[in-house]
Amino acid sequence: MDYFYGPGRNHLFVPGPVNIPEQVIRAMNRNNEDYRSPAVPALTKTLLEDVKKVFKTTSGTPFMIPTTGTGAWESALTNTLSPGDRIVSFLIGQFSLLWIDQQQRLNFNVDVVESDWGQGANLDVLASKIAEDKEHTIKAICIVHNETATGVTNNLATVRKILDHYQHPALFLVDGVSSICALDFRMDEWGVDVALTGSQKALSLPTGIGIICASPKALEATKTAKSVRVFFDWNDYLKFYKMGTYWPYTPSIQLLYGLRAALELIFEEGLDNVIARHGRLAKATRLAVEAWGLKNCTQKEEWFSDTVTAVVVPPYIDSSEIVKRAWKRYNLSLGLGLNKVAGKVFRIGHLGNLNELQLLGCLAGVEMVLKDVGYPVKLGSGVAAASGYLSNATPIIPSRI
Amino acid sequence: MDYFYGPGRNHLFVPGPVNIPEQVIRAMNRNNEDYRSPAVPALTKTLLEDVKKVFKTTSGTPFMIPTTGTGAWESALTNTLSPGDRIVSFLIGQFSLLWIDQQQRLNFNVDVVESDWGQGANLDVLASKIAEDKEHTIKAICIVHNETATGVTNNLATVRKILDHYQHPALFLVDGVSSICALDFRMDEWGVDVALTGSQKALSLPTGIGIICASPKALEATKTAKSVRVFFDWNDYLKFYKMGTYWPYTPSIQLLYGLRAALELIFEEGLDNVIARHGRLAKATRLAVEAWGLKNCTQKEEWFSDTVTAVVVPPYIDSSEIVKRAWKRYNLSLGLGLNKVAGKVFRIGHLGNLNELQLLGCLAGVEMVLKDVGYPVKLGSGVAAASGYLSNATPIIPSRI
Amino acid sequence: MDYFYGPGRNHLFVPGPVNIPEQVIRAMNRNNEDYRSPAVPALTKTLLEDVKKVFKTTSGTPFMIPTTGTGAWESALTNTLSPGDRIVSFLIGQFSLLWIDQQQRLNFNVDVVESDWGQGANLDVLASKIAEDKEHTIKAICIVHNETATGVTNNLATVRKILDHYQHPALFLVDGVSSICALDFRMDEWGVDVALTGSQKALSLPTGIGIICASPKALEATKTAKSVRVFFDWNDYLKFYKMGTYWPYTPSIQLLYGLRAALELIFEEGLDNVIARHGRLAKATRLAVEAWGLKNCTQKEEWFSDTVTAVVVPPYIDSSEIVKRAWKRYNLSLGLGLNKVAGKVFRIGHLGNLNELQLLGCLAGVEMVLKDVGYPVKLGSGVAAASGYLSNATPIIPSRI
Amino acid sequence: MDYFYGPGRNHLFVPGPVNIPEQVIRAMNRNNEDYRSPAVPALTKTLLEDVKKVFKTTSGTPFMIPTTGTGAWESALTNTLSPGDRIVSFLIGQFSLLWIDQQQRLNFNVDVVESDWGQGANLDVLASKIAEDKEHTIKAICIVHNETATGVTNNLATVRKILDHYQHPALFLVDGVSSICALDFRMDEWGVDVALTGSQKALSLPTGIGIICASPKALEATKTAKSVRVFFDWNDYLKFYKMGTYWPYTPSIQLLYGLRAALELIFEEGLDNVIARHGRLAKATRLAVEAWGLKNCTQKEEWFSDTVTAVVVPPYIDSSEIVKRAWKRYNLSLGLGLNKVAGKVFRIGHLGNLNELQLLGCLAGVEMVLKDVGYPVKLGSGVAAASGYLSNATPIIPSRI
């Protein structure tokens, strides 16, 4: 029961869902269990404690909701805001666009701050808006830490600085879907009020858990937030947390054990080493892109993403052709260009449980596909640039020293 | 990484999540995949066609949402109704209660028709309400096909008859969470407008897919339904169905392959044989309960559930003690009594991929636990009653004739 | 890809291969690895240490050969003996017969001491032979600890006493295939020189490792043993043990990790508790057989096996019909009667990772099958007898106290 | 329970055990079964038919013995020959050496024809010996199709031509461990009498099945072969083949299902495409080696192996250092140089279920390691050479056209 079988492994370089480590696949290879027995709460308790570490928060309250990133977004918004609330939101690519679409459909009053796709959030505009908003009509700032469609990372520390500078009480809501557990993300230090990710991203699990952390201030906001919510209502969780049974409805037993295993691997490697590894693989990817003579969709270095690189192709090439051929000929899965950049960029996701040689295999594949579609690439050039860097930057695997 | 290890297999007899067949566990034992490649849509297409068979509908439109039954409820309501809409809903146990709670929190105007826990929905009251409602102020009837807390199955054909008799246009929304794929459920024949189930019930998968089928009339209703919805919005799915990519956000690759495998098993056995098997195991369970001298929580035979049996214990026994001891001593997972019947009943879930000897092992275990808690049971009596019936009623496994 | 699919779990009660715990299935769910990397030797080292505990030996040297029990037999014989060597061997059932057949084909001079099938080894004959053998022409005693075909356990302590009494230096070679890790087996205390088992028996793994422990005396014997051997030659292993790489040829990576997991479970439960559990399940089985009015093939209580019970059927019934129907109708796998007892007995294997309710499910199934084949069984009688005992004898699962 | 964890996948490029496809891992993810039920023989029957296709034989009789390649060797020899029999055997590397060692320990009279390591079997010597042997004292020719230690492939068609030319009746025994299912191997056409392989090689399974095919002439030879054999005796299998139960002792249920899945994949890809893929990856590897300025251990193109490439390192480098660093830093598993070429070569195994980008990832890794150990490699040069070739030679994956 496999569709379109090809020999060897699939090279999965979309920016999610990402490769699941064998250890995690193993941990999920199990029958269901009664989630009301003592075992599942005991397990859940450790997970709630440990996901906080990945968000770098001690004061946050985590929720692991059986949903996707889209559901996690909805949960972040409806638990903290009321219809009509004014929020500032940054449109910089397809995923921020979709989140804004959701915000509007949930009847918030959204100040959309748009940038060119390939640029980061325009924080100057934010500063002006905040400066002007003496009445505190702005209830929340919504921002993606990393825009998966363009490979742009926003500077969250600056957002916090702006809010602090003007002592503005707006909630600070962050989509960390393609950042948390891969990029340097500091919920407490940056005063993020709600941060969220999905299990199929840097945590390297199957899709199915939207993980959200809420600051004390965010929890306080739930008391007055009038948005209608039931499935996504944090209060139902909080009620069950108090009872020690944790689950208002049935969780996926398999994903809980999978998350346990995923966290073990992250802690064994060390979260900072995980982040450093993402930095290393990303830099190698960018060097390859440069060596191919292609441009990064991201317009400035300060926005370079360490989890996904969107590569701009020359106008005479259709980037979706690259994605199609990569899959058809080399069993290589690359990310399509979406919406405004459809046909113009292809994306290399380099997040999750991944290592140097996997990436170099991907880059070698991209080179061959570039040649296939008529781009005058020098085969080996990207790999050489990437491995030149990696050969200096890659540490010995700690457990093997 | 197992909590509370005990030798041998866990005997899982809660009414969900239920046992996953080894074939399905195997099918899910896989890495992630790019859900935008041609493989996942090709797979999805077959699933959408085939889940309709399980609902016995040809005209319905299926949605497989990454959520639980609670989310599926919300999806059924918000896609078809507007805040303030009057609906009739039947409170007959904990799960209908929770659905009603959701309906109220979603701001519908709910006529709650309550019955004693252990009785079915009072359809006489429904008939009067419908008869009286010349103005068609009632927009929907919400009913659980099977109340999992008490083991009560409602007569859906009668609901349809009442609506038809009065030519009442109310939508007919059915929670089939503990019925579909186990009980005789006929979406088209009964004119059900929205039916739903969860993957972890009779389909015998992990938690994670809420499966919903909407009739053409229900789809029509989405056009005027003003309830706020984004994550659960069917229109987002319909848009992607048209494009042939099927997914507005990332599905669980593993669950899709698991569902494929689960459906194969159901079709190999034959859906009618699956339903007959559930009838057989349920009858055997009831005979055992009778032999033990205990009462079924369900007050009349017409309501007997073929997926779960709630057993009433004598007043001097705390049923939660039974559940606790079963797990501690015999690795047997039984269902607790919930809410009004907490401490008064324990539940034997006999749904999903299960066979005769698994059930008899469970019944033998229940007997021993009953003895442990001081109930004067004759050991072997329930098993004898059950196996007396099963030994006549069980057919040869078709593939082995 | 399943042949003869039936719903629910297969009830596996043949005396091997036995049920594999989910934890072990999980541990084996992995890709291959380079067995020459540091990881595999590190793992192997722990296994070699830990299998000794299961044999209750500190002085023995273990070998984990990629083979079956038959290969382990061959390894035991050819490493310690020379063609023409006189050995005493006990024929008490099909497996001892097969071992004797092997001994003869390997050109040993075998004194076959035959008993009725259903009796244990005739140790009086052994005593006379040993007493008479002043010249020490007898080089080895070969005996099965447990004859899997008849459910007979031999008294190994008595064998040792006889040898010691006459100060006879014969090697003491024991087939522990259906005993080790289930019955009380004491390699060092009983002065066993070679003991062996197979991974698919009480260790609850797939087939594929023949595990052998050799006493210092057995190792000494290899120096003069002239039997031709290459694949089974212990010296090749010893050479690699010294080098710290452990493997003269490629082991199964999966089975090594599986064995690691299996041993963890055994140590978590406690080997003595494992053995007690086998005693408990066996006693329950025998009580059921008695309640059915049937006879145990084993003629005296002293020989009763705690891992397998061979049940004698009345002459008018063909026991192979029982086995066939159990599988066809109830997905229950029982053991056939073999050779001399073909058609006359069926066997219930109750070894490995198994618990009370699994056994009671099996017994309930046997009852129904007995009825099917025309035996006047009272349904429930065997289960009642077994559960009467188990309900008193079964301790709380330690991790759940 | 993972030793020496490193993030991302292990890059397994030892020439066995090789990567197992996910489909096969899945197929093996299962509990044990009664091997005497109808299911296992039904499965076995299909396997025996289908493995013959992989050997390209219609007249051969296959045996799937629970053992390794070393055991398969022993089985080939002892079933067809008698102690003292004269055989001609070619020593061209570590594995032919080990087989010769086995032949000698099994008391055959071995004419060892030695070549330099890196050369193929000296078939001129064979021709002379055969020409001289008018008396037909030579009973068998033993030859490895592919010497895994040096990456040398022998010309089996020539061996057959020599034997035919002189109408010499010697048996033609072939070790196809690192060839069958990867190289072009034609049992019937080349008149091979016994051919054998191991499951962990090109079939891409775990270790545990030695697969042997015997020609009618080889089967005839068993009747007079006096070598002592029990576990490896083909006659025990033939007896069970006749009965239709197939197994003289317990097989690994998991490996049987795994083999079924492996064969499905091979047939889906097409055996000839599998072989072509091996040719393609091997050529790419050799081009990389050349680009690095290193030499292939194999001295002439006619002997180049399409399953493993042994790369000679300059005298000032210790090749074992390369293997060690590859594993420690890049999670890349390469093959060590063995025995005579220890320290002088490292090996890249490119057999089994593998594709182009996996190989390029490996080659990129080798380059970085070469740099690490002080070899003046131009990073990217090998990858460029390999991908230059692959980008022309790689077909679209047939299922994705």
- Residue B371 burial class via C-beta count within 10 angstroms: exposed 0-12, middle 13-18, buried 19 and up: middle
- Determine, for residues A360 and D358 on separate chains, whether the beta-carbon distance falls below 8 Å: no
Q: Is A200 helix (H, G, I), strand (E, B) or coil?
A: coil
How many Å apart are CA A77 and CA A87, to the nearest integer?
Answer: 10
How many Å apart are CA A154 and CA A165, to the nearest integer?
Answer: 19
pLDDT in tens, C188-243: 999 999 999 999 999 999 999 999 999 999 999 999 999 999 999 999 999 999 99
pLDDT at A3: 78
Contacts of B301 by beta carbon, 8 Å cutoff, 6+ apart: none
- Determine, for residues A333 and B68 on separate chains, whether the beta-carbon distance falls below 8 Å: no
- Determine, for residues A400 and C38 on separate chains, whether the beta-carbon distance falls below 8 Å: yes
Mean pLDDT, rounded, for D184-207: 98
Show residues of chain D in contact with B31, CB under 8 Å.
Answer: 22
- Residue B221 burial class via C-beta count within 10 angstroms: exposed 0-12, middle 13-18, buried 19 and up: buried
pLDDT at residue B181 above 80? Answer: yes
Any chain D CB within 8 A of the CB of C1?
yes
pLDDT at residue C311 above 90? Answer: yes
Q: Give me the residue from C7, C11, C367 closest to B277, CB to CB.
A: C7
Per the CB < 8 A criterion, the answer to whether A350 and A282 are in contact is: yes
pLDDT at B4: 92
Residue the block writes with tokens 């106290």 = C401
pLDDT in tens, A208-249: 999 999 999 999 999 999 999 999 999 999 999 999 999 999
Question: CA torsion, points B74, B79, B84, B87, in degrees to nearest 10?
Answer: -70
Per the CB < 8 A criterion, the answer to whether C320 and C342 are in contact is: yes
Mean pLDDT, rounded, for C337-353: 98
Q: What angle do CA A314, A317, A323 make, to 5 degrees?
A: 115
pLDDT at residue A1 above 60? Answer: no
Quickly state the pLDDT bin for B3 (edges 50, 70, 90).
Answer: confident
pLDDT at residue D2 above 80? Answer: no
Per the CB < 8 A criterion, the answer to whether A292 and A367 are in contact is: yes
pLDDT at C3: 78
Q: According to DSSP H, which parts of D190-342 are helical?
A: 216-222, 234-243, 253-269, 271-291, 319-330
Any chain C CB within 8 A of the CB of B23?
yes
Per the CB < 8 A criterion, the answer to whether B135 and B128 are in contact is: no
pLDDT at residue A80 above 90? Answer: yes
CB atoms within 10 A of CB B189: 12
Quickly state the pLDDT bin for A134 (edges 50, 70, 90).
Answer: very high
Nearest Cα neighbor of B311 from B331, B300, B296, B293 is: B296
pLDDT at residue D1 above 60? Answer: no
Residue in chain C nearest A29 by alpha carbon: C26
- Determine, for residues A391 and D372 on separate chains, whether the beta-carbon distance falls below 8 Å: yes
Per the CB < 8 A criterion, the answer to whether B232 and B81 are in contact is: no
pLDDT in tens, A330-356: 999 999 999 999 999 999 999 999 999
Residues 312-351 of D with CB under 8 A from A: 327-332
Quickly state the pLDDT bin for A185 (edges 50, 70, 90).
Answer: very high
DSSP β-ladder status, A345-349 and A308-312: antiparallel
How many Å apart are CA C141 and CA B316, to the nearest integer?
Answer: 62
pLDDT at residue C59 above 60? Answer: yes
Per the CB < 8 A criterion, the answer to whether B338 and B358 are in contact is: no
Strands (E), A302-344: 308-312, 332-334
pLDDT at D328: 97
pLDDT over 90 percentage in chain A: 99
Report pTM. Answer: 0.98
- Determine, for residues C31 and A22 on separate chains, whether the beta-carbon distance falls below 8 Å: yes
pLDDT at D382: 98
Q: Give me the residue from A6, A353, A383 closest to D397, CB to CB.
A: A6
One-letter amino acid for residue B176 of the chain: G
* Mean per-residue pLDDT over chain B, rounded: 97
Instruction: State yes or no: D347 annotated in a binding site.
Output: yes
DSSP β-ladder status, A109-114 and B61-65: unpaired
Question: How close is the nearest chain C Cα to the Cα of B154, in Å?
Answer: 27
Question: How close is the nearest chain D Cα to the Cα of C13, in Å?
Answer: 8
pLDDT at residue B196 above 60? Answer: yes
CB atoms within 10 A of CB A43: 22
Residues 248-267 of C with CB under 8 A from B: 265
Show residues of chain C in contact with A29, CB under 8 Å.
Answer: 22, 25-26, 29
Q: Which helix (H) or strand (E) holds D141?
A: strand D138-144
Residues 191-250 of C with CB under 8 A from D: 198, 200, 206-208, 227-233, 248-250
- Residue A272 burial class via C-beta count within 10 angstroms: exposed 0-12, middle 13-18, buried 19 and up: exposed
Quickly state the pLDDT bin for A20 (edges 50, 70, 90).
Answer: very high
Structure tokens at B161: 């008859």
pLDDT at C159: 98
pLDDT at D3: 78
- Picking from B29, B31, B260, B401 by the largest number of D CB atoms within 10 A of its own CB, the best residue to mutate is B29
Residue in chain A nearest B2 by alpha carbon: A39
Q: What angle do CA A391, A397, A398 make, to 5 degrees?
A: 135
